[in-house]
């Protein structure tokens, strides 16, 4: 076996580059070197001879009666010296010695080979890591870059951007780290692998590695919400009734989940049971807080959650962390109220649903017109009530009667308030009238006193009036 053939086989094996691609690269490099030495007009053919293990180069010339271009043409007389049967317009091939290419051409061929091999190797690396998207990889921290940390993966480098790191996690050169591959980019200097340690899917992959039931699909992770480095919530469900999804993920004495927590640098992980019922799912997601009532707004994808007064701190969590992660896990907006506060907010609306039912119009029509309590309806005039969309004069009497039946106290209290207001207005009017009379009387007395004073005045020279 020739040295060239041995080298091709060795490089193909060591670097994982396809053998045919290497041979094509060599042929292209030699073709480029020949063209550099003899010009682009030379018609050449380059081929690798598998039997001899060498590169063979042939130049082709056309047999003509009179030569005008020595590079591409050969006279009939010279052609017949090589082949007695040569005829005009025949195309004849002549071997070219590679050793005669010269130093510059040889250097050019070497550069082409190196560049093509580098490109081929980078393409292989790109294809390899492109197929590994969503996998965990590990490497050695090499250096800090302005955008993050550069990690040596062996055949290539990976970038761990600043916003993909776990906050407060520190690295130094030589540390071994593992991360989740989120992207592979084609760059001029080679493929750029982008990894993350804060991505939610990284936690899913860690559970697949630590929990056999997750790896084989018996337990499915339905969602992950993370506050990287601090706390996370993982929603799980079981495809097998005999398998407890929470117990499978936690492990005996927490052995399985502790491995994940350790990799996440102490990040606290809550395992919650997923449910197709959004209210039940929310109750699990807000654990360890106890929830007493949940109101679901499907249209707005919002939840009103009520908990005991002493559970509010647990439900919200430190700096709102518990409710924030629960909302992220569900993908719904969550508003939390204590029972006492919820009672205060809803006491004024008590009985509104019954009044709306009597009027046969949606309760939202009352709210949109500004009537949010029974008291506001009782105190309103008939003209004001007609502003409610869908309410007619005939139904006004029905709802007033309904309020008397539902809550006579409210009706009586509202009537008393209205009577007090009417009395206050009457008293104010009486007082205003009395004040007006007093002012009028005072003005008359002042005028009389002024006239009397004028009668007793003496002249400026001090003489008495006669």
Per-residue pLDDT tens digits for 383-398: 888 888 888 888 888 8
Q: Any idea which of 90-94, 129-133, 344-348 has the lowest mean pLDDT?
A: 344-348
DSSP per-residue string spanning 322-388: HHHHHHHHHTSEEEEEEHHHHHHHHHTTTTHHHHHHHHTS-HHHHHHTT--SHHHHHTS-HHHHTTS
Residues 121-148, mean pLDDT to the nearest whole number: 86
CB-CB neighbours of 10 under 10 Å: 10
- Which has the closest alpha carbon to 216: 235, 232, 239? 239
Q: Any idea which of 45-49, 115-119, 223-227, 262-266 has the lowest mean pLDDT?
A: 115-119
Instruction: Answer whether residue 404 shows pLDDT above 90.
Output: no
Per-residue confidence band for 30, with pLDDT thresholds at 50, 70 and 90: confident
The encoded tokens of residue 201 equal 């899917």
- Give pLDDT, residue 231: 93
- Give pLDDT, residue 456: 42
% of the chain exceeding 70 in pLDDT:
76
The pTM for the full model equals: 0.59
Instruction: Answer whether residue 457 shows pLDDT above 50.
Output: no
User: Tokens 């007395």 identify what position?
Assistant: 445
- Give pLDDT, residue 409: 63
- Which has the closest alpha carbon to 31: 117, 98, 123? 98
Average per-residue pLDDT in the chain? 79
What domains can be seen in the chain, in order of their start residue?
3-126 (3.30.1480.10), 132-196 (2.40.50.140), 201-274 (3.30.300.20), 289-346 (3.30.300.20), 348-438 (no CATH)
CB-CB neighbours of 46 under 10 Å: 19
Instruction: Answer whether residue 145 shows pLDDT above 70.
Output: yes
Q: Any idea which of 8-12, 77-81, 171-175, 309-313 has the lowest mean pLDDT?
A: 8-12
Per-residue confidence band for 137, with pLDDT thresholds at 50, 70 and 90: very high
């Amino acid at each position: 076996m020739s040295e060239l053939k041995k080298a091709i086989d060795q490089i193909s094996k060591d670097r994982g580059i396809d053998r045919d691609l290497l041979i094509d690269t060599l042929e292209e490099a030699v073709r480029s070197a020949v063209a550099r030495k003899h010009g682009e007009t030379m018609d050449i053919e380059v081929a690798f001879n598998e039997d001899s293990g060498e590169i063979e180069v042939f130049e082709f010339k056309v047999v003509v009666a009179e030569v005008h271009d020595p590079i591409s043409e050969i006279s009939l007389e010279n052609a017949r010296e090589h082949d007695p049967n040569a005829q005009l317009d025949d195309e004849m091939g002549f071997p070219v010695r590679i050793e005669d290419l010269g130093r510059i051409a040889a250097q050019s061929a070497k550069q082409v080979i190196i560049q093509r091999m580098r490109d081929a190797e980078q393409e292989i690396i790109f294809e390899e890591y492109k197929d590994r998207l969503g996998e965990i990889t590990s490497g050695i921290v090499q250096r800090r870059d302005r955008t993050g940390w550069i990690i040596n993966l062996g055949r290539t480098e990976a970038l761990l951007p600043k916003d993909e790191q776990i906050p407060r996690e520190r690295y130094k050169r030589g540390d071994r780290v593992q991360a989740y591959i989120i992207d592979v980019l084609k760059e001029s200097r080679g493929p750029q692998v982008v990894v993350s340690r804060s991505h939610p899917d990284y936690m899913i992959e860690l559970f697949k590695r630590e929990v056999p039931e997750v790896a084989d699909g018996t337990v499915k992770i339905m969602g992950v919400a993370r506050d990287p480095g601090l706390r996370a919530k993982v929603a799980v469900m079981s495809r097998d009734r005999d398998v407890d999804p929470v117990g499978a993920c936690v492990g005996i004495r927490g052995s399985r989940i502790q491995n994940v927590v350790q990799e996440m640098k102490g990040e606290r992980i809550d395992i919650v049971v997923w449910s197709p019922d959004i209210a039940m799912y929310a109750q699990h997601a807000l654990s360890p807080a106890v929830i007493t009532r949940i109101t679901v707004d499907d249209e707005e994808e919002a939840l009103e959650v009520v908990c005991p007064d002493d559970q509010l701190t647990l439900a919200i969590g430190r700096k709102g962390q518990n409710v924030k992660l629960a909302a992220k896990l569900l993908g719904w907006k969550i508003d939390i109220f204590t029972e006492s506060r919820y009672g205060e907010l809803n006491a004024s609306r008590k009985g509104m649903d019954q009044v709306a039912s009597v009027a046969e119009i949606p309760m939202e029509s009352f709210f949109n017109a500004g009537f949010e309590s029974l008291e506001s309806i009782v105190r309103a005039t008939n003209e004001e009530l007609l502003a409610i969309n869908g309410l007619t004069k005939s139904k006004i009497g029905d709802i007033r009667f309904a309020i008397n039946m539902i809550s006579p106290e409210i009706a009586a209290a509202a009537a008393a308030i209205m009577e007090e207001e009417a009395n206050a207005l009457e008293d104010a009017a009486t007082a205003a009238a009395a004040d007006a009379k007093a002012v009028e009387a005072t003005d008359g007395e002042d005028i009389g006193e002024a006239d009397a004073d004028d009668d007793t005045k003496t002249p400026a020279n001090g003489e008495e009036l006669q």
